[in-house]
Amino acid sequence: MPEATSTFAEQFEDARQQHEAVTLGMWLFLATEVLFFGGLFLAYVVYRHAYSTAFAAGSAHTDLFYGTLNTAILLTSSLTMALAVHAAQENRPRSITRWLLLTLALALGFLVVKGFEYHKDFVDRLVIGLNFNPTLPAHAELFFWLYWAMTGLHAVHVIIGIGVLGCVALLVRRKSHAPANTIEVAGLYWHFVDLVWIFLYPLLYLIDRHS
Amino acid sequence: MNTRAPTVKLLVLVWAALLVLLFVTWGVAELDLGRWGIVAAMTIAVVKMLLVVLIFMHVRYSSSLTWVFAMAGMFWFSIMIALTMSDYLTRSGAFW
């Protein structure tokens, strides 16, 4: 497969070394992201262990339809992102733009569904500190603190991802500067956002739903 | 350069597998499996993670060093969970 960009920055020996360095840098950043989300996941594990009944009651109040729909949307956006990277490696700019725009559309779709879900949560009185339903078990509020913190932090990452993908799409459109490496690294970030959701989905929506 | 990369066919197959796993994990959640529910849900999540990391994120096609970097975050995260739970899971009294 021909490499899209034969040029490389002067501090590197060759394009291969630059590609390796760029990829490693992004994976290093993603490792810090794992630990960033890790604190919340740890809190979830500890409190689910301590208050399993209240957490099961909390799980039963999350909206399984919206959660599942959004999982499908994000998984599909990962495919379109991977296809954009594939097109970049084959140096097909129009194809890159098409797949990037489709990924952006799916990312926006995720946020729209999230908006409907948050609205339903508000109507169902699940907003901690604002209108939380007092008939739920006391520690269900802890579950919903984690629900809002984890899905909120994830949504912030989706919004940042939209910004990153938007900038990359603009660069490709202008043909000023969009080497395959840039698109690949943006792709790594986007797949990470998908990965976080792959774990949030069972933890917040599925486990102990019927116990 | 990175001459080995997944084909379009493989990418689409991985996506199809991810969606199948999504519907499997959704279906399993409708059953009351007791303590096995969490095992099933997390096993499926890990399989989905591996598909995304190895194929979509190209780790299968990358150098060993990339592989180490990709594993590092999960490795330290596992230590954090394991050491913390070694406390909470072994407390004999009511600490809550």
CB A209 within 8 A of CB A47: no
Of B28, B41, B85, nearest to A45 by CB-CB distance is: B85
Cβ partners under 8 Å of residue A145, min gap 6? A128
- CB distance A202–B12 less than 8 Å? no
Return the closest-CA partner of residue A84 out of A168, A167, A194.
A168
Q: What does the pLDDT average to over A83-100?
A: 93
Q: What does the pLDDT average to over A101-125?
A: 97
- The predicted complex's ipTM stands at 0.92
CB A191 within 8 A of CB B57: yes
Best interface-test mutation with A: which of B11, B57, B96 has the largest number of A CBs within 10 A? B57
pLDDT in tens, A40-77: 999 999 999 999 999 999 999 999 999 999 999 999 99
Give the closest-approach CA distance of A181 to chain B in angstroms: 10
- Torsion on CA atoms A94, A99, A101, A103, rounded to nearest 10: -170
Chain B interface includes A195 (CB < 8 A): yes
Angle, helices A140-174/A52-59, rounded to nearest 10 degrees: 50
pLDDT in tens, A3-46: 444 578 889 999 889 999 999 999 999 999 999 999 999 999 99
pLDDT value, residue B2: 47
Contact residues, A window 78-97, toward B, CB-based 8 Å cutoff: 78-79, 81-83, 85-86, 89
- CA–CA dist A108, A97 (Å, integer): 16
Tokens describing residue A63: 């909206």
- Residues of chain B positioned with their CB less than 8 A from the CB of A197: none
